[in-house]
Amino acid sequence: MEQVQDTSRPPLEYVKGVPLIKYFAEALGPLQSFHAWPDDLLISTYPKSGTTWVSEVLDMIYQGGDVEKCRRAPVIIRVPFLEFKVPGLPSGFEVLRDTPAPRLLKTHLPLSLLPQTLLDQKVKVVYVARNAKDVAVSYYHFYRMAKVHPDPGTWDSFLEKFMAGEVSYGSWYQHVQEWWELSHTHPVLYLFYEDMKENPKREIKKILEFVGRSLPEETVDHIAQHTSFKEMKKNPMANYSTIPPDIMDHNVSAFMRKGVAGDWKTTFTVAQNERFDTDYAEKMAGCNLSFRSEV
Ligand code: A3P
């Protein structure tokens, strides 16, 4: 009988001390031969921080606000995800080969695993950070629906793993801090999910300036409207509904789940919140980044 590979819930694999989805860890070898181009633009985030949102915003900018052009393919094809690899789907590296310049690229990698070529080529980076509590809740539901992750266990045990950096891509605390440090020496536009929620047009204008483009005011309005949570949730080219359900099961939890700031309050117990805050203060001591955990 033909042996069918079981792609469901393999344990994380550690690369240079960083836990990763098994298939993504396997993708890092081939990714060594990737060459960045100076006009590439890298979208970097810790998972669940607004990657898909800013990807749609940037593709809309690159397409001059033309919604039809942005419907040409799912976001994972329009914005190649460097370390993406799942059996049965084209890897990020394969998608990249067919992507013409100027390219938008996506990664969640910490700096220790980032291909050096991106730094050597001085590739501009749009980094989006989101408050840790909402990231933890969003990540828990993502683990539940995306079966390339190990089983998340209970919310309480997942939260412990998140605080210990024992989830895919490792420590949120380290990720947001090291990319912030990089922004002092490398062209990084460091954005916050909560700011995008508060005033999407203001943040879109920051991105436009950073990528050296300008668009009429009504096009900026149009981009803000097309990239709202409500619009993206019903857009199959943005909401990941094209990924087979054995990999992402939207019946368990939709990829476009709630899209708000402060949802952690519905999930954290008082005891979890206190414990998290104490641990947070230790891990973020000496860092001048400040996050808003509600808007
Ligand atoms: P929730 O699970 O809290 O709803 P990423 O793209 O980095 O994986 O992040 C996914 C998170 O961003 C999910 O958070 C998702 O709902 C939210 N999101 C995606 N598009 C959004 C948008 N246009 N506006 C607000 N939040 C959005």
Q: Ligand 1 pocket, 227 CB below 6 A?
A: yes
Which tens digit of pLDDT belongs to each residue from 145-202? 999 999 999 999 999 999 999 999 999 999 999 999 999 999 999 999 999 999 999 9
Nearest CA to ligand 1 atom 19: 53
Give the chain's mean pLDDT. Answer: 96
Rounded CA gap, 172 and 163, in Å? 8
Q: What is the pLDDT of residues 41-89, one digit of tens each?
A: 999 999 999 999 999 999 999 999 999 999 999 999 999 999 999 999 9
User: With bands split at pLDDT 50, 70 and 90, how would you rate the model's confidence at 1?
Assistant: very low
Token pair for residue 53?
């949102």
Give the residue-averaged pLDDT of 261-283. Answer: 98
The residue length of the chain stands at 295
* Cα 94 to ligand 1 centre (Å): 26
Identify which of 21, 43, 48, 145 to mutate to test ligand 1's pocket (most ligand atoms within 8 A of the CB). Answer: 48
Nearest protein Cα to ligand 1, atom 8: 48
- The whole-angstrom separation of Cα 80 and Cα 164 is 29
Residue 165 CA to residue 163 CA, distance in Å, equals: 6
Tell me the domains of the chain and their CATH numbers: 22-131+170-243+261-283 (3.40.50.300)
